[in-house]
Amino acid sequence: MNNKNNTLTLDEWKDLERQISELLDLTWKCAQAKAEREALDLRRWYIERVEAFIATGETYTELDDKLKQVAKQLNPPLDKHTIWRGIKPHIETKLKETQEQVFKTHRREGFDRVAKILLYMEKLGLPEEAREATPKWLEKLK
């Protein structure tokens, strides 16, 4: 490694700030996408369980009594969209809670990683120009 010029210019520190801000944005979007996917998977799971219950009449322990009652009111043959419309009011809260929890978990993990990088950078010692170029996001993560 060449140690002749191991300091960053003010423009380079500003670019670093921009890069980290973009990384935080990506972390947010990734957490959002994972949460939405998890909610869709849960929705699909419920639809498939209700569909199986309607088709076979078998009682699945995964379905609560409300969903069993709703399933009994739906008559075959049904498509997944009709089943979804029937069960939607009963599982919307569960889907929303799941989505929020997954989002919070993944967002926290991503932000924690960025915060750790920033704290290491600070521990290495930011020059005075860097402190001016790295405003709020560094202060918030201390």
**pLDDT at position 18, please?**
84
**pLDDT at position 136, please?**
58
Q: What is the dihedral of CA 68, 69, 70, 74, to 10 degrees?
A: 90
**pLDDT at position 60, please?**
61
Pair 67, 91: CB distance under 8 Å? yes
* Below-70 pLDDT ranges, the chain: 1-6, 8, 59-61, 76-77, 125-142
Q: pLDDT tens digit string along 92-112?
A: 999 999 999 999 999 888 888
